[in-house]
Amino acid sequence: MAKVKVDSAVMSIHEKLARIQVEFKANKSRWNSFGKYNFRSAEDILEGLKPFNEKYNVYFIIDEEFLDSKESPIIKSVAKIVDCDSSGFIQSTAIVGVDLAQKGMQTPQAFGSASSYGKKYALGNLLLIDDTADADATNTHGKKDEAKSFTKPKIDIGSDNYNKALDFIKKGGDINIILEKYNVTEEAKKQLNAL
């Protein structure tokens, strides 16, 4: 990212966050070999945010809190952007249950997985990262019959879903993920394949 001089002292925390939300791009550098898709992690998001710390004189932190419930343990993740010029902050929260019965996972792994997931979605909420077209958000983990039991949303040229799909593919997304999740018209499919 090229260094751009920004007078961050005259900007409010809301202006800084709005600019970061527009400028920020998070790479999907991780590969899920079980589900066969790329995804981004909380670590990828935090690494991608580092250049903005200096540019806008802010920093990001994530706090976690364990919430005990009768059903299952819950982790509350709070992602926060803090303005070094004013000490103001904006935060966003994600709540994630810990699945202690997850097959093949020991208790520390289940907590670690839930923690990572909560951090990722708290940051995603703060930064307006749309994971609706992300395989991590749509993966059925092999339960194809369950996934097909609902009616797929339609994608036609000019629709909101088409624009989201277009943006997803422009960012390096796989059209097969879209075709699996949506009912795509032939014309829209041709346009998306042409990218």
Q: Look at residue 2 and tell me whether its pLDDT is greater than 60.
A: no
User: Is residue 64 located within the same domain as residue 157?
Assistant: no
Q: Look at residue 135 and tell me whether its pLDDT is greater than 50.
A: no
Listed residue (10, 168, 46, 55) closest to 119, CA to CA: 46
User: Is residue 37 located within the same domain as residue 111?
Assistant: yes
User: Is residue 100 located within the same domain as residue 9?
Assistant: yes
User: Is residue 97 located within the same domain as residue 153?
Assistant: no
- The confidence score (pLDDT) of residue 165 equals 82
Q: Which residues pair with 63 in a beta bridge?
A: 78
User: Is residue 124 located within the same domain as residue 135?
Assistant: no
User: Is residue 182 located within the same domain as residue 108?
Assistant: no
Query: Which of the residue ranges 4-8, 25-29, 157-161 has the most confident prediction, judged by mean pLDDT?
Result: 157-161
User: Is residue 38 located within the same domain as residue 118?
Assistant: yes
Q: Look at residue 27 and tell me whether its pLDDT is greater than 80.
A: no
- Stretch 157-177: mean pLDDT, rounded? 80
User: Is residue 123 located within the same domain as residue 135?
Assistant: no
Which domain does 189 fall in, by range? 130-195
Percent helix, strand and coil across the chain, each to the nearest 5: 45, 20, 35
User: Is residue 125 located within the same domain as residue 155?
Assistant: no
Of 34-43, 53-62, 127-136, least confident by mean pLDDT is 127-136
Q: Which of 105, 129, 153 is the last residue of a domain?
A: 129
- The confidence score (pLDDT) of residue 151 equals 67
- The three-state secondary structure class of 44 is helix
User: Is residue 136 located within the same domain as residue 170?
Assistant: yes
Integer Rg of the chain from CA:
19
What residue type is 139 in one-letter code? N
Cβ atoms 74, 96 nearer than 8 A = yes
List, in sequence order, every beta strand (DSSP E) within the chain: 30-32, 37-39, 58-67, 74-83, 89-97, 154-155, 183-184
